[in-house]
Structure 1
């Protein structure tokens, strides 16, 4: 994890350095501020859309996993936009724009399903208010 953080910091510094060598210090600061303002507006707009979509799906009785996942990705994208730097701004915009967010959501849900299938969570069945293990090799421990 420390290596990833170090690589991220190096990429951010290199990006800021490259942009500032082209547009200057004040141009770089202006781009960072405009990116944060534009990103916060986009995050707010997409967040409201995701909330409306969640409410519509819940009222229709459909599953809401896509809407909840979109909301989490939008929130994370908004946080990335607020972090100073161009790399984080690009990553945040990727999560805030609907078509790319849809691709990220699919990949994320696919990965979560694989992890669950590999034993990340145990299923249980409720029969007449009694919890019965789905797999008899893994008994359910009930708290008293």
Structure 2
């Protein structure tokens, strides 16, 4: 909870500082165009990656397999897409990092370990039918 509170204060303050610096360095209009462009590109990439992940998950379900990797991919894509819609360069970098498959592979082992820890500590309970 402490870290979330710090993120809610530090990240927006840093984003504002970087946006002001960018506006002074590049100019206001280029900064706004850059923010809009990254948002549009991020939305396109999130949609494309989301559809591909959904199709892989459906194929696995058709063969009776649990789509574990696709669930983690989908979570990364969702968070990456949402973060990209917020204005700012730090959040855009994080969003693209989560959307691109070759960088997302570095986050997935950490998420898997986190989910396993939650399951072992009973923070997440899995009910079997």
Same fold (TM > 0.5): yes
Asked if 1:34 is matched to 2:37, the reply is yes
User: In structure 2, do the counterparts of structure 1 residues 57 and 15 end up closer, same or farther at CA, with 3 Å as the change threshold?
Assistant: same
Q: Which residue of 2 aligns with 1:3?
A: 6
Aligned residue for 1:35, secondary structure, equals helix
CA RMSD after TM alignment: 1.9
TM-score by length of 1: 0.79
Shift of 1:125: 8.1
Stretches of structure 1 lacking an aligned partner (at least 5 in a row): 127-144
Q: Which residue of 1 aligns with 2:101?
A: 98
CA distances 1:69-120 after superposition (whole Å, capped 9, x unpaired): 2112111111111111111111111110002212212211111112222343
Q: Which protein has the larger Cα radius of gyration, Structure 1 or Structure 2?
A: 1
TM-score by length of 2: 0.87
1:22 alignment partner, one of 11, 20, 25: 25
User: In structure 2, do the counterparts of structure 1 residues 119 and 4 end up closer, same or farther at CA, with 3 Å as the change threshold?
Assistant: same
Name the structure where helix makes up a greater proportion of residues: 2
CA distances 1:28-73 after superposition (whole Å, capped 9, x unpaired): 0010011111111111110111011101111122221111121121
Higher relative contact order structure (alpha carbons within 8 Å, sequence separation ≥ 6): 2
Stretches of structure 2 lacking an aligned partner (at least 5 in a row): none
Cα separation, 1, equivalents of 2:82 and 2:126: 34
Name the structure where strand makes up a greater proportion of residues: 1
User: In structure 2, do the counterparts of structure 1 residues 62 and 11 end up closer, same or farther at CA, with 3 Å as the change threshold?
Assistant: same
